[in-house]
Amino acid sequence: MSPSTARLLISCPDAQGIIAAVASFIAEHGGNILEADQHSDPEHGEFFMRVEIESGGLGLSQENFAQAWQPVAKKYAMRWNVCWGDCIKRLAILVSKESHCLNDLLWRWKTAELRVDIPFVAGNHESLREQVDACGLPFHHIAITKDTKPQAEAALRRLLEEEAIDFIVLARYMQILSPEFVAAYPERIINIHHSFLPAFAGSKPYHQAYERGVKIIGASSHYVTAELDQGPIIAQATMPVDHRDTIDDLVRTGRDLERVVLATAVRLHVEDKILVHGNKTVVFD
């Protein structure tokens, strides 16, 4: 996203004239539409739209956009958000012991493929400190046991607030977050699940898949909700396998999928291409 652009995200009851109203508003204020996507959901009567605007000539700013936009939003009962290109999202990564997703995200960040700030990485083990140190980022070890989980989450919450974190990525973070923690970051915690949801949930999914003789394996990235692994799915991918593949083959292939699927979900979130409706997502990509 260029610093000279803005993204307007809209969801509302479907009605005639929404697209025309949005386009007219932008034109009236000197803006130029660079990209527009929309989707109508006839089953639920909902309308979704993402508009990318060249903000250089737009006669509105972060300070006065909401006031000018409010009459249009009110007329169509819109839920909306505008994201400005000069505001870079701040990402915190949580990890445990497995490094493949972390290393992939850090590489994409270092090569500017992911346009985010990463103030820190936190882990419930020390295992990945060296990889994080090598990137010049702070690593915070916050140990968690069954008895100390409330205190550990409180310490993590303080850290997230101090660093003004916008969203969180669980890069194979093997801890279940409490409902209270999740509620503080609605639609702002992204997880990678090591199977094609909703199949093979729980422990050792690749072993379950091997025992069932599956012909595809997959990975799923989703927003975290209070219900374990049931949040709105953002991205998924699969890979064919057959009887010749060992458990090690499945694990290796699964890790490749996890890296790509998690990175895709993070990119979509950073580029404001996701609208959540109930427990589903509308992804404009």
Structure tokens at 44: 């639920």
- Strand-pairing partners, residue 140, are 122
Q: Pairing mode, if any, of strands 189-193 and 117-123?
A: unpaired
d(CA 120, CA 27): 41
**Does the annotation mark 133 as catalytic?**
no
Is residue 187 classed exposed, middle or buried when 0-12, 13-18 and 19+ CB atoms within 10 A define those classes?
A: middle
Cα 124 to Cα 172: distance, rounded to the nearest angstrom:
11
Residues 6+ apart with CB under 8 A from 16: none
* Phi and psi based region of residue 139 (left: phi greater than 0; alpha: psi -120 to 50; beta: remaining): beta
Q: Give the C-alpha separation, 161 to 156, whole Å.
A: 9
User: Which residue among the candidates 229, 245, 248, 249 is catalytic per the annotation?
Assistant: 229
Spatial contact of 235 and 259, defined as CB atoms under 8 Å apart: no
Question: Which tokens go with 46?
Answer: 């909902």
103: three-class secondary structure by DSSP:
helix
How is 133-186 classified by DSSP, letter by letter?
Answer: HHTT--EEE----TTTHHHHHHHHHHHHHHTT--EEEESS---PPPHHHHHTST
> What tokens does 135 get?
């990137």
**Active-site positions?**
229
